[in-house]
Amino acid sequence: MEDRVKFEDLTVSQRIWLLNRLSADARQFRERLTWKGFLTKEQLMGLEQIMESTSTQTPSRVDDPNTPLFLALDRASKASGKNACLHINGFRFLRAGDDSKNPKHIYVLYSSQYLGKIYGRKIQLRWNSHLVWSVDDKLIGEIPHIIQNPIGYALQSGADYGICAGCGKHLPDGQLIGKSCAARFGWEVSQEEFGAAVATSQN
């Protein structure tokens, strides 16, 4: 039956998700697969929706392109209709176009110059370029963490550099990211995270 989706039909990330999640919804899908041997197409769609909404999980493989950083850029690209970019720690992370040479890649720029690209958790920097050597090692070392936790680094970078990660514009004192930019990337930033700016402007 074409409506039946067996465990071996699932993608690697779906399998890993199913096997590792402790939540009740994941357990339901596991039990269903164990006792019935398959999911219906409708149930598979349900599973995909839950995975999407909990997409901060670590990707299963190094070359799984759907990292938290890529998913955030992807959401913002769809929201704005153009390839989105994040400004973090002096870097720019730019989603490559689907019709480009490197679909699903993220281009890395530093001081507006091309530094390399990212696919999944693989970082391919141009080590032969003098530019790479001019960037602080510590900043380069943070790229793997930015891939996994873009929102955390976007807010931290906003605090450190005073620049909105979403648009690169200067932020008012104490603000960590622009509200509309946060929304574009699908980030719900709490009132506290917007920080002192709100509090001081009310006093």
The residues that touch Zn ion, with contacts defined as CB under 5 A, are 164, 166-167, 178, 181
**Minimum CB distance to Zn ion smaller for 121 or for 184:** 184
Distance between CA atoms of residues 124 and 69, nearest Å: 16
What is the closest distance, in whole angstroms, from the C-beta atom of residue 169 to Zn ion in the complex?
5
For Zn ion, which is the closer residue by CB, 14 or 157?
Answer: 157
How many helices (H) and strands (E) would you count in the chain? Answer: 10, 7
Nearer to Zn ion, 96 or 164 (CB): 164
Min. distance of Cβ 178 from Zn ion in angstroms?
3
Distance separating alpha carbons of residues 115 and 83, to the nearest angstrom: 18
Q: Name the residue with tokens 């993608």.
A: 11
Nearer to Zn ion, 116 or 150 (CB): 150
Min separation Cβ 116 and Zn ion, Å: 25
Q: Which are the contacts of 44, defined by CB distance < 8 A and separation ≥ 6?
A: 5, 10
Residue whose CB is less far from Zn ion, 143 or 164: 164
* Shortest Å distance, C-beta 32 to Zn ion: 43
Q: How far is the CB of 65 from Zn ion (least distance, A)?
A: 25
Helix or strand holding residue 123 (H, E): strand 122-125
Our CB check for Zn ion shows the closer of 119 and 185 to be 185
> Cβ of residue 200: shortest distance to Zn ion, in angstroms?
20
Question: Using CA atoms, how far apart are residues 45 and 50, in angstroms rounded to an integer?
Answer: 9
What order do you get walking across the sheet with 122-125 strand by strand?
85-88, 91-95, 106-110, 113-119, 122-125
Question: What is the Cα–Cα distance from 86 to 155, expressed in whole angstroms?
Answer: 11
